[in-house]
Structure 1
């Protein structure tokens, strides 16, 4: 049976094509609300025949994996009689610094063009990047015409660039599920009330319900919640879990619980999400290229760093990162 990887266009192209340094302008300075407003303003100028927010999906095969790519392009419009994918981007940066458009934005637009061409058997597609400044509302547009064969080659190369990560995740999930099935309860016996709570958690996950529990100190609530959830993930009842806490002591308790299960054979990726000011390794420097050396070339390094960490580490705490 072929394994299917379902992924949206944006994270796919960003994984492969995003490069260079961390810079302000696109996601950092322009809020989601501002971006939505700009999208809607540009789309208001579309004609009645033009389409906006077009849902697309396509399957691509690479190696032993099938990639189901899905997304929603901003606009599908007619320009001088040519069907055109319009990709709208808001930015607070200087429009003169755009060159002829960012490679990651071209990749996003081209992937939408490929998906539409496959679905509707189009011989060629035009793609357009529409940049809008969040303050001045000034617009800048770039266009390219692409033949179907060019789009097919691009899509194949895009998936090939993502494949090492996808293949590693598939292999990891297989090892994880086997380890979960063989995982014993990491203590010699359950405490009073602990088995009942663990059973209720597992049943709640299977049934897709909500559970509120009030339990005394010392019952072992952390393991009573985490162990059955891990079991549910291994059996396909859930994909991931979030353990939320406002206190360092309870965060440490969760990390120790996973460390104990891993000592019993569990192979599962676990990361402690840390506040930005706590995870940063610099003192009193702005998170921007030119002011922080770690921002320089960040996107050129990140894929290799993440692959290395996921391959060699399971408990990803601040010291590991």
Structure 2
């Protein structure tokens, strides 16, 4: 067998971790902060200092390689830099031991490479909040370091051989992967060919693929087939909905079941911690949670069982394996993300500030293929990932009952709050105030508070209120450090002691660009991705991103699209529109009784139309969405769409019933859309328009038209779901006939 390659960090994380899982309130810097921290330390060194020193050497059966952070050949000193926040004593012993093991492994390679007898080793801990270095130094003999490296390699070599064999068998099987059905659906082959070419060419593609193509299987199958040729290490299928995640897991299961032989493909379903945690009332460390006690001692056996499992590692499967070995299922899943070929997860696992998958790609230098389902949602999701709100009320509640050790820091934040209010919002008002710059006194006070709470919680029982305040404050300070024209700062004071200060992201491109750069190939797909340049700009995708729109599998005679040149739903015209809209809905229902959805811009407008319908057509079966419906109520609302329960359901555009629901056949035969879906013309959106105009020269379209009409297309797209469906769409507003509006609607509606 050829040399087995392993990175120093991977080797140490596999073989050198022992003892308890311990995540006691030691908030870690983001990957961006870590990079900046490394740069800050390296910049202070002299001209002879060598940065990012490449090291490699054959040890046992392994070719071990990595990059040491810095080396001074004159002083004979090798450095490994680790970033942290708060008191260094809060970095747990297990973590420190891992850091030391990495440094000593680098030392062994350097001594062998440079023929040194001994080396000075320095573990540099850098506090990103205080810009402070703390060195921990030792002098080590080359012979001793090499002996330790051999021990690590011997622990890892059997696993490495297994992994190499698995990769060989996986790629062999994927080269001969067969489609699980006799033939493709209409346009599904074109979809698959586009995905395959994109993977092979290592490109980024925005692919608009209408409903009914079988996008889940039509993207997974070719992306898997391409993995051996593209030399992809991992495939990440990312989505925004749990139901879509399940569809992806089911698609891989179908592929596995339909192959003539075994398909050695490790598939992992990642779920949120809230859904996987067995002891949500306990903190994540060995003194509090039995599943954290001795976690790393029992992990190897659990990891082996998980790796040898022949089916998908779903939430339930991982829970069973974890239970057998007495370890935490959530962190077992985190570990298996290192070793699985396909990971099905929420988009935040690749794109948010502390994304696990992005970190693993960077750490292991993987060639990763991304499939992002329902990609039209990523703009809003990403804005949320890089936004945060600070609550004065939360601070005041905690301050009343806080321990004395934290009183001075809490008082400092309270005074900073008062200063911000006095300077920017002295009067009670529900109207927000936009701040040009962040209040430095408040962010400084928050940093000091975070450090104090971190230290306090390390020595005291868990306190949920303190934790929530700490995480809120930490999230704010992290985004404050990178505040720029991609975001805005909003202050609102609706009542005394109830002020809220938020950092709201407007342009996620600046944060997401490094995530796309880390991927070898990316496919963003959805039924609504036009115009592609909008998504490329706002998401920070590469300049050479390609766009393709596939024709739908449906014929034009399946869908009747109607316009209403004489009805306006503009705000001043709403009252005049009620009777014509009610008459239109009633007339359509009389012509073809069945199930219809009617969408409106607000609950207020919806209720006015409902009242009019009840007066003019009392025999028309009606039901309506209500604000704040529970999950059971939403399910019941959808269950009412059946052949035996015809009627018209009224809903709000952009709400839970306007996308992501599947009502094929006679469960839904028509939709009325009485709005362009435009966001409100308020101060906030005007600032967004200005920023987008400055950055991209398309402020109005990017703020109003494209987001609004995307909602329209998604809502109306509920009507035709299968090749057998027929239906009707009514676009109720004279503006739908304007050329600039019609050009943004799906082409096959023409």
**TM-score for both structures, normalised by structure 1:** 0.84
Superposition map of 1:274-313 within 5 A: 274-313=271-310
Task: Give the deviation of 1:124 after TM superposition.
Answer: 1.5
Moved more, 204-213 or 164-173: 204-213
1:243 and 2:237 correspond: yes
Deviation at 1:61, TM superposition (A): 4.5
Measured after TM superposition, the shift of residue 249 of structure 1 is: 1.7
Q: Map Cα deviations across residues 40-85 of structure 1 (whole Å, 9 max, x no partner).
A: 5655654444x2533222131434xx424122x233247xx75122
Q: Does the aligned pair in 1 maintain the 2:50–2:71 contact within 8 Å?
A: yes
Once the two structures are superposed, residues 280-303 of structure 1 have per-residue CA deviations (whole angstroms, 9 ceiling, x without a partner) of 222333333423222222222223
Q: Distance in 2 between matches of 1:96 and 1:233?
A: 42
Whether the aligned pair in 1 keeps the contact of 2:77 and 2:119 (CA below 8 Å) is yes
Q: Quick one: structure 1 residues 26 and 126, their matched pair in 2 at CA, closer, same or farther if it must change by over 3 Å?
A: farther
Structure 2 CA distance, aligned partners of 1:256 and 1:236?
24
The structural deviation recorded for 1:212 is 2.6
Answer 1 or 2: higher relative contact order, Cα 8 Å, separation at least 6.
Answer: 1
Is 161-170 or 235-244 further displaced after alignment?
235-244
Asked if the contact 2:124/2:134 (under 8 Å) is kept, the reply is: yes
User: Which of 78, 81, 86 does residue 88 from structure 1 map onto?
Assistant: 81
- CA contact 2:22–2:92 (8 Å) conserved in 1: no
Gaps of 5+ in 2: 319-750
Aligned length: 314
- 2:198 counterpart residue number: 204
Cα distance in 2 between the residues matched to 1:224 and 1:308: 31
For the pair shown, which has the larger CA radius of gyration, 1 or 2? 2
The alignment partner of 1:125 has SS state of strand
1:124 counterpart = 2:118 = yes
* CA 124–26 in structure 1, closer or farther in 2 if over 3 Å, else same: farther
The corresponding residue for 1:2 is 2
Equivalent-residue separation in structure 1 for 2:205 and 2:93 (angstroms): 53
Matched, 1:76 2:71: yes
Question: Do the aligned partners of residues 28 and 160 (structure 1) sit closer, same or farther apart at CA in structure 2, a change above 3 Å counting?
Answer: farther
Report the Cα distance in structure 1 between the residues aligned to 2:245 and 2:154, rounded to whole angstroms: 38
Q: 1-side partners of 2:228 and 2:26: how far apart?
A: 35
Q: What residue is the counterpart of 2:12 in the other structure?
A: 13
Q: Is the 8 A contact 2:4 2:164 kept in 1?
A: no
Q: How far has the Cα of 1:131 moved from its partner?
A: 3.7
Seen in structure 2, the aligned counterparts of structure 1 residues 26 and 233 have a Cα distance that, compared at 3 Å, is: farther
Q: What does the per-residue CA deviation read over 1:88-137, in whole Å, with 9 as the maximum and x for residues that have no partner?
A: 33443553987899332221111121222222221211212334566677
Partners of 2:288 and 2:225 in 1: CA distance = 46
CA distance in 1, matches of 2:203, 2:315: 33
Q: Identify which of 242, 249, 264 aligns with 2:258.
A: 264
- Partners in 1 of 2:265 and 2:206 — Cα distance? 26
Aligned to 1:175: 169
SS of equivalent to 1:189: coil
Secondary structure of residue in 1 paired with 2:235: coil
For 1:286 and 1:52, the matched residues in 2 are separated by 41
- Mapped partners of 1:32, 1:94: distance in 2: 19
Q: Structure 1, unaligned stretches of length 5 or more?
A: none
In structure 2, C-alpha distance between the alignment counterparts of 1:239 and 1:16, rounded to whole Å: 22
Task: Note closer, same or farther for the CA distance 1:11–1:87 as it changes in structure 2 (3 Å cut).
Answer: same
Structure 2 CA distance for partners of 1:114 and 1:213, relative to 1, 3 Å: same
Measure the CA separation in 2 of the matches of 1:26 and 1:43. Answer: 28
**Do 1:25 and 1:93's aligned partners in 2 also have CA atoms closer than 8 Å?**
no
Q: Could you say what secondary structure the match of 1:185 adopts?
A: coil
Q: Which residues of 2 match residues 151-190 of structure 1 at below 5 A?
A: 151-190=145-184
Alpha-carbon RMSD: 3.0
Q: Partners of 2:135 and 2:19 in 1: how far apart?
A: 22
Pair 1:166–1:109, CA change in 2 (3 A): same
Judging changes above 3 Å, is the alpha-carbon distance between structure 1 residues 128 and 100 closer, same or farther for their aligned structure 2 residues? Answer: farther
Q: CA deviation at 1:225?
A: 0.7
Relative to the length of structure 2, the TM-score reads 0.39
- Of 315, 319, 330, the match for 1:318: 315
Q: Is the 8 A contact 1:101 1:142 kept in 2?
A: no
Q: Deviations over 1:161-215 (max 9, x none)?
A: 2212211211111222232233321012211111121112112211222333323
Greater helix fraction, Structure 1 or Structure 2: 2
Q: Distance in 2 between matches of 1:308 and 1:196?
A: 39
Select 1:231's aligned residue among 205, 225, 234: 225
Pair 196,292 (structure 1): closer, same or farther in 2 beyond 3 Å:
same
Shift in CA distance, 43/213, structure 1 to aligned 2, threshold 3 Å:
closer
For residue 144 of structure 2, the aligned residue among 150, 153, 157 is 150
Deviates most, 193-202 or 129-138: 129-138
Q: Distance in 2 between matches of 1:99 and 1:55?
A: 27
Q: Is the 8 A contact 2:24 2:283 kept in 1?
A: no
Bigger shift: residues 126-135 or 245-254: 126-135
SS where residue 317 of structure 2 aligns?
Answer: coil
The residue aligned with 1:55 is: 53
Alpha-carbon distance in 2 for matches of 1:61, 1:52 = 24
Change (3 A) 1:61 1:87: closer
